[in-house]
Amino acid sequence: MTLVLSCATQDYLVQACDRRLITNRGDLVDDNANKAVLFTNRLAFSYTGLANIGSERTDLWLTKTLAALPTGSLSDAIRAVRSKATEAFKHISLPSGLKRHAFVGAGWTRARVEEPLQPLLCLVSNFHDRQGETFAEDRDEFTTVVQILSSKNQLGFLAIGQALPGNRHTVLWRNLRRCAQHKVSPNLLVRFLVDEITEVSNSNKAVGRGILSVVLPRSIADSHEVVVVGGSPVPGMATFQYYPADRHDGIVYGPNVAGPGFGATNFRAGNL
């Protein structure tokens, strides 16, 4: 089970997750597996839990689920992931405790067309209740938890998957809150999330050092053109950054991208 960190401010959505896959016994399977999917310019999704749903890689399953939608509605996307996951997990034969799975999202939404955009964080999980509390065991039915930030709230934060040890959750939240209050560049938000995952990986072998971060600015949420750029966050662009686990082999990996009727997967660039 990986570690997914998501934060939402009034200007930016930032999400970071490690790329490690392990077996139920803790054996390493893959240290560079994609777990991130962007849905148009509105939503960043990552997952923690099973690497495959049925016979399909989970990131591909999620991309296809989102690409099958007729519109870019966030509420429809979240409902589709919940219902499709609930149906799929009924057919997965694993002992209780080995099917814990969650999709974590950070997105832009609005209550009505004429109202301004609001940042949200969402959780589609089979081991959380509707208040976000953890169940003792996983369940076949997935539950949705949505947190929408009002204009008075400067920060939303979710840490899902492997636990942050000690008081690190509190310290990280305080640092992110200061960034949000002072409206600093999203580069610093990314840095805090990436550094935290790296720190956890030093003591928790279920978390890898290879990391992918994504940033979705408010300013592009209504754009019908989906363009994702690799590199440091820049105004008016959806961006991602790849942090290799150890020695960089010259290949840069990116998230999958989906929208109504289309999907793009297996992004690689560089010295192929």
Contacts 24+ apart (CB under 8 A), 58-62: 59/33, 59/34, 59/35, 59/256, 59/265, 60/256, 60/265, 61/88, 62/37, 62/103, 62/256, 62/258
Tokens 């289309």, located at residue: 262
Of 49, 115, 111, the C-alpha closest to 81 is: 49
CB-neighbour burial class of residue 218 (10 A; exposed 0-12, middle 13-18, buried 19+): middle
pLDDT tens, residue by residue, 150-160: 999 999 999 99
Residue 208, CA distances (Å) to 79, 97, 107, 110, 251 in order: 30, 22, 25, 35, 17
Residue 145, CA distances (Å) to 61, 129, 189, 263 in order: 21, 8, 23, 25
Rg (CA), the chain: 17
Q: Is the pLDDT confidence value at 247 over 70?
A: no
CA atoms of 14 and 198, how far apart (whole Å): 16
- In one-letter notation, the amino acid at residue 271 is N
pLDDT, the chain, mean: 94
pLDDT tens, residue by residue, 47-87: 999 999 999 999 999 999 999 999 999 999 999 999 999 99
pLDDT band at 272 (very low <50, low <70, confident <90, very high): low
Give this prediction's pTM.
0.96
pLDDT tens, residue by residue, 105-119: 999 999 888 899 999
CA atoms of 120 and 224, how far apart (whole Å): 20
pLDDT band at 146 (very low <50, low <70, confident <90, very high): very high
Q: Count the neighbouring beta carbons within 10 Å of the beta carbon of residue 191.
A: 17
Q: Is the pLDDT confidence value at 248 over 90?
A: no
Tokens 């749903």, located at residue: 53
Q: Count the neighbouring beta carbons within 10 Å of the beta carbon of residue 144.
A: 18
Tokens 């609001």, located at residue: 118
Give the pLDDT of residue 51: 95
With left for phi above 0 and alpha for psi between -120 and 50, is residue 242 left, alpha or beta?
Answer: beta
Bigger pLDDT: 96 vs 126: 126
